[in-house]
Amino acid sequence: MNNALEVNKLCKDYGDFSLNNISFSLPAGYIMGFVGQNGSGKTTTIRLILNMTARNDGNIRIFGMDNILEEQKIKQGIAVVLDDISFVENWKVYEVEKAVKGFYNNWDSTLFHQYLNSFNLPINKKVKDLSRGMKMKLMLAVAMSHDAKLLILDEPTSGLDPIARDELLEILSEYISDGQRSVLFSTHITSDLEKIADYITLIDNGNIFYTGTKDDLLESFYVIKGGLDELTNHLQEKIIGVTTHKTGFTGLVPASEVKKLSKSIIIEISTIDEILVYISKEDKKHEQHY
Amino acid sequence: MSNIINSIKLDYYILKSNFKIILIVVFLAMFIGIMTSNPPVIMYVISIYSANFMGSIFSIYEKNKLNKLYGVLPLGKQQVVIGRYLFTLAVGVLDGVMAIVLTLIVLYFRNINISNLAFISYLSSSILLFCVFISVQFPLYFKYEHSKITVVAILPPVVLFIIGITLFKKNAELFSPIIKYFIQNQNMIWLIGICAGLIFLCFSCLLSCVIYKNREL
């Protein structure tokens, strides 16, 4: 299987925060959710992928090419939507195209204006006068108008209302429908990913907790609930993000532990959101689960 | 090369909304030209203003967080730096033409005659002044955030200029053969202003390339 993106043993040390041996790969034609709580290292990883910051170790290959040695060639094929607008606020919508189109060999003005029409973006309106949702759509229109094969989204849905988020997911589903394009979708709003992601990479405090298919992730962990007397020493070692209260406990366990549990313990299928919450509660350094 | 041209275009669009401020400078320069006994100082006013105006591109960059845009575009850091210096040079030439025209207009309406040598000296030194300002300020702007360095960045070229003038005045005898040479070869005044200015800009551009290469976006 061809990988659109391969990240291998990536390390970055900021002193007070570090990324440690980050490794994952995104097969071509799929959507990967890149999940983690705020400050877990998602944006740093994306900045490293885009060579906006220097790495300490590891390597990144995009379309099989090194992201530093072949940076400009790679960036012709990458589209990026960041959490906030990255254009001059005084630009009008049509000026955004004038400023950036020259950089892309495959820029398609007709397609750009089609997106503007379908997103109801007024071309004479200034960027600063656009709503949060419209700014995101403008960035998407720019991102999707140069035939990019890899779309990288960094928290594009944060601050958007549910309707705008749903619209974005529809746009993304349509964008990858030809099977040639891949999406790396960084977010902490996991409900978005439950709908569209094929793969999930879960990052916590600079470490990869899980990377693999979404289905495998959801089958790999279960939420358990039980009485305090059922929280044995063995279980305490295996349970992730345990929370105790007067009447009992809740936590997350790997699927391999489920068979060993007492029958009185309630076992529930987990969601990505729950997995994220439980691993964020865990103080100890996690084992990697892939 | 095409990416350098694209980078110049991008710089133009970044500064575009600020170009109307030039009108204020025209009025200011005209006002100073009318009030002063020495109208050619218009050229100094415009060259210093132009240098600071070009620095505002870094301010807009910072205010609009354009590091994100530059980090996403297929554009090398060296191309960004070279493009910015070339764009600055182009704007500097246009401002120079504007300065000449304004000075000639004021001289004409005030019926003041100055010698060719004096006019060329003013023009040449204002070109040099512009280049020195840019050459000192741009590497600082490429290294640090504009908001943190904006006041400090004005000081080095001013200090350099004051030191230069002071040295010149205190060692007038030392410079007298040079002055005589320039009186006899007036075209050389042009050359010294333009050539020294371009040399400063070239070194500054090289320094900025090195600095910006290591800067995280």
Q: What is the pLDDT of residues A271-288, one digit of tens each?
A: 888 888 888 887 544 444
In a domain, A253, yes or no: yes
Q: Are residues A155 and A262 in the same domain?
A: no
Give residue for tokens 């007024």.
Answer: A122
Q: Are residues A160 and A205 in the same domain?
A: yes
Whether residue A236 is found in the same domain as residue A202 = no
Q: CA of B144 to nearest chain A CA: how many angstroms apart? A: 16
Q: Are residues A210 and A230 in the same domain?
A: no
Residue A103 within any structural domain of the chain? yes
B10 interfacial to chain A (CB closer than 8 Å): yes
Q: Which of A14, A67, A72, A103 to mutate to test the interface with B (most CBs of B within 10 A)?
A: A103
| B68/A contact by beta carbon, under 8 A | yes
Domain housing B190: 2-213
Inside any domain, residue A286? no
Are the CB atoms for A289 and A209 separated by under 8 Å? yes
What pLDDT sits at residue A285? Answer: 44
pTM of the model: 0.85
pLDDT value for A50: 94
Q: Which domain holds residue A126?
A: 3-216
User: Is residue A56 pLDDT above 80, yes or no?
Assistant: yes
Phi, psi (degrees; rounded to nearest 5) at B135:
-60, -35
Q: What is the C-alpha separation between B136 and B139, in angstroms, rounded?
A: 6
Do A102 and A169 fall within a single domain? Answer: yes
Mean pLDDT of chain A: 88
Same domain, yes or no: A101 and A245:
no
What is residue A1's predicted lDDT score, i.e. its pLDDT? 60
Q: Which of A216, A237, A262 is the last residue of a domain?
A: A216
Instruction: Sheet containing A65-66: give its strands across.
Output: A18-27, A3-13, A57-62, A65-66
**DSSP code, position A265:** S
* A109 and A159 in a common domain: yes
Q: How many domains does chain B have?
A: 1
Higher-scoring residue by pLDDT: B214, B7: B7
When pLDDT is cut at 50, 70 and 90, the band that residue A202 belongs to is: very high
> What is the rounded average pLDDT of the residues B136-155?
84
Q: Residue A151: which of A159, A139, A162, A163 has the closest Cα?
A: A139
The whole-number pLDDT of residue B25 equals 83
Task: List CB contacts (< 8 A) between B2 and chain A.
Answer: 102
Q: Is the ipTM of this complex over 0.90?
A: no
pLDDT bucket at A290, cuts 50 / 70 / 90: low
Q: Residue B22 — very low, low, confident or very high, per pLDDT cuts 50/70/90? A: confident
Tell me how many domains chain A contains.
2
Q: Any chain B CB within 8 A of the CB of A91?
A: yes
Q: Are A95 and A178 in the same domain?
A: yes
